[in-house]
Amino acid sequence: MSPATGTATETEFAPGSVALVGGGPGAADLLTVRALRLLRQADVVYFDRLAPTEDLAVWAPRARLEDVGKRPGHHKVPQPEINRLLVASALAGLRVVRLKGGDPFVFGRGSEEAAACEQAGVPVTVVPGITSAVSVPAAAGIPVTARGISKSFTVVSGHDPLSEEELAGLAQLGRQGGTVVVLMGIGTLGHTAAGLMRHGLDARTPAGLVERGCTPQQRVCLAPIDQILLASAVEGIASPAVLVIGEVVRLAAGAELPWSGLTGLAGFTGLTDLVDNA
C-alpha cells in the first residue's frame, strides 16, 4: 500500500482522514483501546452489521452514526457507495471511522476501501481487530492449534461455494492434521462438508459450529463432519457462525462428539435448503 496507509498512533486523528477500525468478534470489551480512542474523536462512523454497536453512541459521542451493514443476500448500501461515502466525508473535512466486525482485512473489503481512499488522496489508517477466525473458536473452547494435535490452521471464506480444487486442498490439509476454519459458511455448509469427504476427509473428523461467538447469544454445535449439516439444521444454527473442522474440536467436545452414530449426509439430501434458510 502507499505511504498514506499506516497504523494509528497516539497522534491526533486528523480532520479529512479515514480510519478503518476492526471492532472484533462482537463483544464490546474486545474492542481495542486504539479503536475506542479514534471513535471518541470521530465526526462520522459508518458501521457494519457485525460490528459492536450497542454502546456506539457512547463511544462516539460527537459522531453521526450511519448503518451501512450488509446482510446475507441484501446489500442495502453497495460497496462502491460505501467507498464513495468514506471519500466524500473525508474530503468534506470530517474525521471518518469505518467500523467493521472482526479485522478490516479478513474478508472485510477493507483493502478495497483503503484503495479507494488512497486513489482520492485521502489519508487512511488501519486499526487491526480481533478476528473471529481465532477468537470465536476459542470462546467455545476450541484452539485452532494445539501441541501434538494441530500445528497449522487455514481460514477460508464460505460465502461462495468452494471449488473442487479448493476442497481437495483443504481435505489434504485435514488429513495431515491441520485445522480448517470457515467464515460465512452456513449457506454453503452442505457443499463444504460433502466436498471435503468426497476428496478424502474422514467422515468421523470432528466439526464444530459456533454461532454468535463471544456474545451472550453464543451457541455451539458439535458433530462429526458427516453429521454437521444435520446437527446444525436440527439445532437451528444460523448466521453468523464460524465452522471449525479438525481434531482440535475434540478439546471442546470431550472424548465423544454429539450426533455420532446417526445417518449422515447421504441420507439427508434435502437439508441444504433448511440450513440456507435458517
Catalytically active residues, by annotation: 48, 70
Three-class SS state of 205: coil
**What are the residues whose beta carbons fall under 8 Å from the beta carbon of 158, sequence distance 6 or more?**
182, 183, 184, 185, 186, 187, 188, 189, 192, 243
Nearest-angstrom CA–CA distance, 208 and 225? 8
Q: How many CB atoms lie within 10 A of CB 111?
A: 14
In terms of DSSP H, where are the helices of the chain?
A: 33-41, 56-59, 79-91, 110-119, 132-139, 164-175, 189-198, 228-235, 250-253, 271-276
